[in-house]
Structure 1
Amino acid sequence: MQKINPCLWFNYQAEEAVHFYLSIFKNSKIVNTSYYPEKKATANKTVMSITFELDGNTFIAFNGGPHFTFSPAVSFYVNCYSQKEVDELWERLSDGGKKGECGRLEDKFGVTWQIAPIELIEKLNDPDPQKAYRTMKSILRMGKIEIDRL
């Protein structure tokens, strides 16, 4: 069991969001669904929370209503092992959302993701500070990260 699990607060879109994420990430599944008691259910929105896994990482989606919204101050960083994976996740997660800069995007539910090749971290941590700086400058000019431009 994962000790720390992100809990995503949705305005009654938890089911839609979970199914969207499950369609994108391999090795993903719903672990558990809990429901509001009938007295608390509103407008056929009876699902209270869904525990789910995305590629082995556990998340909780909570239907809490309009009280809170997502912020780009918190994002999910996705390590990609090829440009093909970067391209696919970038397009699929941003569908209906907003493409940003430096590998960041906001999905159609307002959740922010950072889609990056594993080479990015290696290059940003290069022992030569000039090489690391050049990498940082290059990603500042990109939307989707492109490995061959690092």
Structure 2
Amino acid sequence: MTPQDAPPLIFQVFNEIGIIEQLSRTVLEAHMPKGLIAPHFGVLNHLVRVGDGSTPMAMARAFQVPKTSMTHTVSGLVKHGLVEMRPNPEDGRSKQVWLTEAGRALRARIITDMSPQFERLAREFDIAKLQDILPVLTELRTYLDQSRDPA
């Protein structure tokens, strides 16, 4: 395959990833408390993965959404007692987002609640195929993350 032949294949790969994201988001949101959606879980998961103390602006860049969207998402989490805003000690004009124990517990509970779906998938789908594609997906994500336009 030549680079000129690649665009249809690349589109097809991204299309499949997009459909998988939509289907998995539906499963995730079925396990979330009323009033919370996938972006809320995404923020909880991000803070567990990279650590507390991110600013809303840094998270907006990481999620590639407008700062106003991230501020709205974080506000919903604050309202539910899942994160708290603290002054940024390095910049008095900004705030940092910190998980509460309730936020950590909710993230863990949602993952646990999704275990039956994960177990069913593991029974009905060749899990070795997932092991095989994980490094490729990780490499693709890393490439896309590193090559995105700085904003």
Whichever structure has more strand as a proportion of its residues is 1
TM superposition score category, shorter chain reference: under 0.3
| TM-score between the two structures when normalised by the length of structure 2 | 0.26
| TM-score between the two structures when normalised by the length of structure 1 | 0.26
